[in-house]
Amino acid sequence: MHDIIVSILLGIVEGLTEFIPVSSTAHLLVAERALGVGAGWDAFTVIIQLGAILAVVAIYFDVFWTALVQLPSSAEARRFALGIIIAFLPAAVVGALIYKYLTSVLLNPALAMPFIAASWIVGGILILLFERLAPPPRFTDSNRLPLSKTFQIGLCQVLALVPGTSRSGATILGAELLGVDRVAATKFTFYLAVPTMLGASVFQIYKEGGMLGEGQATDIAVGLVVSFVVAFFVIREFLVIVGRYGLKPFGWYRIAAGIALLA
């Protein structure tokens, strides 16, 4: 029963934080430490990201399905797919190259908590600053961004390899600074999450899957379902919040959370 409760709690944390600019990786690390779970749960937290991925696919199924069906006949569909691939590649390449450094240094248990706290605070300050500096938007359609912009957004996503940075925060803010409308940037970030999170999950499962303990199938199933359900509602509400208030509430949250973690 204890493991089921832990699975539910970690699924909630994953679903709540994966698509908002507060860093789901950092929150899961803090949650694991708070719950006192062992190293065997590290691979579990990677796998339950798949639940959040499925939430994006479910919400934007029409977009993905239409692009897939029309790939052979539509130049627009091919450009959409190519834009996602181009944006995905920088983080995929850099992540594979520095994986050992990330796990041995930045995710070292002795360094992780103060590093995450500092990242939360610095990231919160940058959100508040860059929201003011963003130029008037010139690109308002998330499905028709120029390929040069999708590549630049992909370069911004590389920053999210640092624990505590936030993938969605880096890509949304980066896109805003590149002249992309905030809501369009958020939608593109959701699209980009599918190959990025799927690739990261498969890669880490390959590297750390052996750490899963026997009998964790039920725990994984519970975590997947919970993360899917929570992420499904978070994605919808996040678009409303971003459209109305921008990212400022999350900037203040990061600063407060970082100070609390340091304390």
What integer is the mean pLDDT of 18-32?
88
Is the separation of the CB atoms in 32 and 112 below 8 Å?
A: no
Considering the chain, what percentage of its residues have pLDDT values greater than 90? 56
Q: How far apart are the first and last CA of the chain?
A: 32
| Predicted confidence (pLDDT) per residue in 76-133, tens digit | 999 999 999 999 999 999 988 877 777 665 556 556 788 889 999 999 999 999 988 8
Tokens coding 72: 């052979």
Which of 32, 88, 63, 16 has its CA nearest to residue 241?
Answer: 16
- Identify residue 54 by its one-letter amino acid code: L
The angle formed by the CA atoms of residues 229, 233 and 236, to the nearest 5 degrees, is 145
**pLDDT at residue 149 above 60?**
yes
Is the separation of the CB atoms in 183 and 166 below 8 Å?
A: no
